[in-house]
Amino acid sequence: MNEIISLSVHELIEKLRAREVSSEEATRAYLGRIEETEERVHAYLSVLEEEALAAAQEADKRLAGGDNDASPLLGVPVAVKDLLCMKGTPTTCASKFLENFISPYDATAVRLLKEAGAVILGKANMDEFAMGSSTEHSAYGPSRNPWNLETIPGGSSGGSAATVAARSCAASLGSDTGGSIRQPAACCGVVGMKPTYGRVSRYGLIAFASSLDQIGPFARNVRDCAIMLNAVSGHDPLDSTSTDESVPDFTGDLGAGAKGLRIGIPKEYFIDGMDPDVESAVQNAIKTMEENGAEIHEISLPHSQYALPVYYIIASAEASSNLARYDGVRYGLRANGNSEEYGPLYGMYAASREEGFGEEVKRRIMLGTYALSSGYYDAYYTKAQRVRTLICREFEDVFQNVDVIMSATAPTPAFRFGERMDDPISMYLSDILTIPCNLAGLPGISQPCGVTSLDLPIGLQIIGKPFGETTVLRAAAAFEKATDHHLALSPL
């Protein structure tokens, strides 16, 4: 493997600053790696070679000029999930509906990466409109897991996770609505973090469920993850849900260790049907943290058992509302309708949506529309919101006595393609351990904690208090320091 692409973000930063490597060299190395791996992995929907090389050359000029105020990401090649708008480039959301859509502006997270001097290599594959747990719902074909090309990379940010695992970028951005950063991070053996809701601006993120969506980083280790989070966090007046909470340096407490940390272990998160290798790896991780000075407390989160149905009512309802804008009129695909059956206008609406949306997106739109319909709104949507409040309060109570919560990220490792496509409930269960964190708007991270007997990665999830990212990252860094799971490379 090329020496440059074997470097982590913080190692590459050191070499860029020391002028031992140029950004253009690093960018060309990653573009070469993309060419080498993409036919097998299909992690990217578009590769922006010309734009990336221009950004790398600009970064080298700044580095050569001794830019003392330069961001740590100056010259670092990264990827972004293809639901983040980037001016002048395709933003498809992995949907036929947006196949020819060229974004006229940058998402705030993309703008911040550009201002930091990061080199954006391309847009990563995903489940269509972020609805899925396997990337099999991409209209342009699935991404594959670099650990085993016959297995899924997770979803919906499967492409973003696969780019990092395949070493076809140094780090990437994804989005997490119900586990869509943490679950693919677990599947692909990388680190992925969902920040607190409101920590990172959602402006320019093509919405799935607006009260749940949050942008976050994928990286090879915890420090790289913290560096990426530093770059994209902060208040944004363009996003009404963006918080004005002060942004600390997320790398600041990484060396503080596990001593004195109070870690809660929710008994409800060791569910029936959990893979034995996953349960064993997580129990070993708990033991490792205890041996390194953490206090382990058994806790109870009984309302978590309702999180899955609550999530699929709320998320689907918000999806129904958000996707109503895709009507074939203002932008995106426009089909010729059957005017005899529907009339010219409604025929065009129906035909555009039939041709533009995939089956999973249609399923969730119908579920959400039903939940919001007259006569059912209170029975489903209102009740789901009430239970969501109970889940939030339960976390608040637990965090009076513990600093972080630890569990498996997903109950099973990556599964084979096609294994759950005909069973939506089985697919939805992939996110059963990550969804409560989204409903409560909490920060959560997944990091490698071992492999199964079939050499598939296992993810350890750490959840923190609202805006407690530094503590989450501290705990994750302490576990990483005590183990070497993050150093394992995919066979690719």
87 has catalytic annotation: no
Question: Alpha-carbon distance 380 to 377, whole Å?
Answer: 6
Q: Is 457 left (phi over 0), alpha (psi -120 to 50) or beta?
A: beta
Residue 248 tokens, joined: 């600390």
Could you identify the residue written with the tokens 């579920």?
367
| Residues 420/426, Cβ–Cβ less than 8 Å | yes
Q: Which of 156, 233, 320, 430 is catalytic?
A: 156
Q: Helices 9-17 and 222-232, interaxial angle, to 10°?
A: 70
Q: Is 259 a catalytic residue?
A: no
Give me the count of residues in the chain.
492
Question: DSSP states of 170-201 as a string?
Answer: SEEEEEESSSTTHHHHHHHTSEEEEPPTTSB-
**DSSP β-ladder status, 214-219 and 171-176:** antiparallel
- Who's near 154: CB < 8 A, 6+ residues apart? 133, 134, 135, 145, 161, 183, 184, 185, 186, 187, 188, 410, 414, 430
DSSP state of 257: -
Residue that the structure tokens 């249609």 belong to: 362
Q: Specify the DSSP element, H or E, that contains 227.
A: helix 222-232
Find the catalytic residue in 180, 304, 407, 490.
180
Q: What is the 3-state secondary structure (H, E, C) of 263-304?
A: EEEEHHHCCCCCCHHHHHHHHHHHHHHHHCCCEEEEECCHHH
Q: Which of 23, 71, 81, 316 is catalytic?
A: 81
CA atoms of 308 and 311, how far apart (whole Å): 5
The answer to whether 180 is a known catalytic residue is yes
Cβ atoms of 192 and 181 within 8 Å: the answer is: yes
Question: What residues are annotated to the active site?
Answer: 81, 156, 180
